[in-house]
Amino acid sequence: MSSPDGVSTQQLARDHEALMRSLLAMLGRAFGDAQTYCGIQPGPGYLRRLLASDAFIALAALKNGEVAGGLGAYELRKFEQERSDLYIYDLASGRAQA
């Protein structure tokens, strides 16, 4: 679903490897740390398994089809009660590259 300004959100799934790589590139630019996010990216199998995992959540904000922001988060199932916490690991927005 898109907003009037052309921004939409997408939860990444197993078959969104290219979108995940675009998210990693945006995070690298936003944090000024392209080497960490793009220097030695995981292989396709690893990314598919990560994106298929119930414990990892990746969201991308898309503007005109380009990644303009996003986040990576982890669900931690707790041991003291039947509950879980969500930890946002990375959250950033940046300009979509033309």
Degrees, nearest 5: CA angle 66-68-70: 115
List the chain domain ranges. 7-93
Other beta carbons less than 10 A from residue 67's beta carbon: 23
Q: DSSP 3-state assignment of 4?
A: coil
pLDDT digits (tens, 9 = 90+) for 34-93: 999 999 999 999 999 999 999 999 999 999 889 999 999 999 999 999 999 999 999 999
7-93: CATH architecture? 3-Layer(aba) Sandwich (3.40)
pTM value is: 0.87
Whether residue 69 contacts residue 93, with contact meaning beta carbons closer than 8 Å, is answered with yes
